Chains A and B, each alone.
Chain A
Amino acid sequence: MTIPPSAVTTAPSPEAAEPAASRGERLRVLVGSPRAAFVLQRLGRAAVSFAIVLVAAFFMVQLVPGDPVRAALGPTAPVATVDALRAQLGLDQSVWSQFGHYVSGLLHGDLGMSITSQRQVSQILGERLPTTLVLAVVSFLVAAIGAFPIGVATAVSARSGRHRVLDLGVSGLLGILIAVPNFLLAVLLIATLSIGLGAFPPAGWGTPSQAVLPVLALALGPLAYLARIVHIEMLRVLDTPYLTTARSKRLPGRLLYLRHALPNIVAATLTAGGVVLVGLVAGTVLVETVFTVPGIGSTIVSSITAKDYPLIQGVVLVYALLVLGANLLIDLALAILDPRSAIAEA
């Protein structure tokens, strides 16, 4: 699990505070509801982001130093083959006509032809995407469902200060899980659970038992990270005056934590959840490679090594879509579950 710490610790963009508020204001006046304005704004941002990715994925190939076709085929390939491939890829045309072909191809779902396998890129991606999706979604659910009870329990226990050794142990364990990158965790899991105990197969995909180790490798780090966010947020909320008010009513712990504290950590936790979800999507690249899972993550590595540019372009676009979709999903959840903070941000 490698998430830049500052991605979470830094406050929302300073610009969002003032000028964006006035922009949201205008949108709000247009569509009437602040919640709708928030969702529209996020949709707009996702669209702009995707446009940037489209352009970037196209120019990525243009920016490769030297001749990408020569690089892909190797120095020994005959000139005729190189020229043929160059013509097939359309690289002999002007940049703008290439861009036009690229965009119109995308509109028809045509991502071009893979150089190494000579199959349609869209076909390859279509076969492999469901695997990656299942892996990411299941891992996210495991992380999210596991993180809440752990985070809440450790925060309550830490604040009371009565089980210091246990608290220290748990937070140490979480710290280690956060610090160990997922590819290393994957290797460790294979060494212990698979080779050591023979409990689960070390590679492959298809049966539930084959899914256990990849899901664990992908989910444990995010789980620990999310649990720590819940823990920190819970500690913050437990120190607020309104929790003191609730305590002054001598409410039982159940009401104190579930009714008074939990709703107030939703916004921050969801935002962190977004970071986790996006990190998970990216993490599939590493975990699929270790466990030889036939998803798009293992495809991107092999295609970069093989300099299979059409395939790289396709995978980059799909990953960007996944990331943007994950972000959008979190924003929608925020708008539904915590309209106040969504409105504040709009």
Chain B
Amino acid sequence: MTGLRRTLLTPQGVAVLAGLVLVALAAALGPVLLEHAATTRNIADRQLPASWAHPFGTDELGRDLLARTVVATRLSVLLTLGAAGISVAGGVVLGVVAAVLPRAARRLVTAFIDIMLSFPWLLLALFFSVIWGATARGAMLAIGFAGIPVFARLVSTLTAAVATTDYVHAARLLGSSSGRTAVRHVLPNILPPLVVNTAAHASVTLLSFAALSFLGLGVQPPEYDWGRLLNEGSKRIYTAPMAAIGPGIAIVLTGVLFSLLGELLSQSRPRTVHAVTAQDGSSRPVPAEGDAVVEVTDLRVSFRGDDGTLVQRVRGVDLTIAPGEVVGIVGESGSGKSVTAMAVAGLLGPEALVESERLVFRGIDMTRRPSAAERRRLGLEEAMIFQDPLSSLNPALTVGRQLTEASETHAGTSHAAASARAAEALSLVRIPDPPRRLRQLPHELSGGMRQRAMIATGLMGTPRLIIADEPTTALDVTVQRQVMRALRDAREQTGAAILLISHDIALVSGFCDRIVVMRDGVVVERLAADRLGEAEHPYTRGLIACVPDMRTDRSRALPVIGVAAQEEVLP
């Protein structure tokens, strides 16, 4: 649990821990130390407003309200823990029962949980408090029971998620009984999220108690919790507002403390780095060096690692693409090939820190925010195709809208003209019946078709560069062939240069003029696609040899390269 220790040592973690210690101390020692101040009646000092002697004022019997607020910590926290305990225990039992029941009964129980969940806790708690009466114990039962559906749902969702994992499948194949699987696999994996939610739920429970007591349905005099104090204080709000605000502060702070604890225990989002370097405001003039489409010199891209330090994922890459040239970048995962492509397109998000000596697309400095004119040119001249055709088209917009919008926005093309053009583009990538397809949503198209529609989108402007980042990795080989054919047709039609990113060196060698081999963020070799046999770097040679193809000698072991070779631990 080093991760937990690390989170607890952040400023937020220290604050939450300190707060928890404080609440625990108040609950443990408050009634012991302040009992006298909280209960001694002093009619002379009754109903005093806030002062230095009585920061929250006094009540109608002259008792110090700050002392009463501190003393009330114990009852408030104990009731909260009791109710949260009932919710969690009941929820776990119901959730587990729902998980192990036969299908019909299970469906009945989950439907019941669903229905219970559709009612807000306050109404459920009010309902139960009718039955159990307006007492502290009744309120605890009421709030505890009202929380059961939430946890039952949580447990059954978590359990179902774990139960469909491959490791549970594997255990089943190996003859592990359901009981053993539950104890060894399911329980350890649902426990952490359950703990997180319990902490968050304690916050809700605390506020619920305050609400019930505030309504006069919870703790009854002479006992008092924070809600009760708030209830009594709110009656005197005209004369002594602190009498109500004081206990209110205790409620909110403790509630926030519990929910912060929950947030702390769950994994937090990775932090973003803010790429402000190279944005010195003044637009650096970019001297045109030849007529290259893309010029990259000494590109470096860093991301924030798990431990907060910057990790360089692209380490000094140079790349030049001539007009109409087809260049492939090959590498394994972590080689930095996709990050390089995204940097060339200027599309890396705020989590990336991009530095370079030169990063230019047709005279446009990609390290700065582009001007309006530059945006227009980029929108028309640069096209992108991404790996996953399922998620790279917007699921909520028609294919037609997604094809036409760039030229409508940037070239001012009329909708009719753009639609006609879009239909042409779809036929060029060999999608049958373009008018119908233009009206459809992306999910109505097959994966290969969607990828070709992406290519067609790029054809709507006057593309000078098409960046295709693993465009066929998610597709079958026969579909890959159709997509590559569409890409080739697009190039023949427009004369655009292509930057193809792939892990498949055979594919790249069969499509590109030039190959750039990347590994661990650096370029290890550049060579012409038809001269693979002359590769000099051992990594390139290994990459070529380690992939079995239709001529590989089946009687011999495949050569092992790179990381894989280092992994080979031979005893």
Chain A residues near B (Cβ < 8 Å): 2-7, 9-11, 13-15, 17, 19-20, 45, 48-49, 52, 56, 60, 63-65, 159-162, 164, 175-176, 179-181, 183-184, 187-188, 190-191, 195, 239-252, 255, 259-260, 263-264, 278-279, 281-283, 285-286, 289-290, 300-301, 304-305, 312, 316, 319-320, 323-324, 327, 340
Contacts and interface: CB of A to CB of B under 8 A. Distances in A.
B214 A183 contact: yes
B414 to A, nearest CB: 17
Contacts of A246: 394
Contact of B215 (A159, A242, A281, A289): A289
Contacts of A180: 252
Contacts of A319: 123
Contact of A2 (B111, B208, B370): B208
Residue in A45, A184, A290 with the greatest tally of chain B CB atoms within 10 Å: A184
Residue in A48, A242, A259, A283 with the greatest tally of chain B CB atoms within 10 Å: A242
Contact of A340 (B234, B349, B376, B395): B395
A244 B150 contact: no
For chain B, give the interface size range: 35 or more
Interface in B355-384: 370, 375-376, 378-379, 382-384
A283 B210 CA distance: 13
B118 A324 contact: yes
A278 B120 CA distance: 6
A4 B115 CA distance: 16
Contact of B394 (A63, A242, A286): A242
Contact of B241 (A195, A239, A247): A195
Given A278-B120, A323-B123, A340-B395, A4 B376 contact: no
Contacts of B122: 2, 282-283, 285-286
19 contacts: A5-B200, A6-B151, A6-B154, A6-B201, A10-B157, A13-B113, A14-B110, A49-B118, A179-B203, A187-B233, A241-B387, A244-B392, A250-B375, A260-B396, A282-B121, A285-B215, A304-B126, A305-B217, A340-B395
B147 interface: yes
A117 B184 CA distance: 61
B394 A19 contact: no
A5 B215 contact: no
The main secondary structure of chain B at its interface with chain A is: helix
Interface stretch (B404-412, B417-425, B513-521): B404-412
Contacts of A64: 130-131, 133
A292 to B, nearest CB: 12
Given A181-B210, A181-B211, A340 B443 contact: yes
Contacts of A9: 197
Contacts of B443: 340
A247 to B, nearest CB: 6
Nearest to B161: A14
A312 B134 CA distance: 14
B383 A248 contact: yes
B503 interface: no
B349 A286 contact: no
Residue in A191, A247, A249, A324 with the greatest tally of chain B CB atoms within 10 Å: A249
A198 to B, nearest CB: 12
B204 A190 contact: no
Nearest to B104: A19
B406 A251 contact: yes
Contacts of B119: 278, 320, 323
Nearest to A283: B122
Contacts of A239: 349
Contacts of A305: 134, 216-217
B397 A278 contact: no
Contacts of A159: 272, 349-350
Contacts of A301: 215-217
Contacts of A15: 106-107, 110-111, 156, 160
Contact of A4 (B204, B251, B395): B204
Nearest to B253: A179
Given A13-B110, A245-B454, A285-B215, 17 more contacts: A2-B122, A4-B201, A7-B150, A10-B153, A19-B103, A56-B127, A64-B131, A181-B252, A191-B241, A242-B392, A242-B395, A245-B393, A249-B409, A250-B410, A252-B375, A264-B395, A340-B395
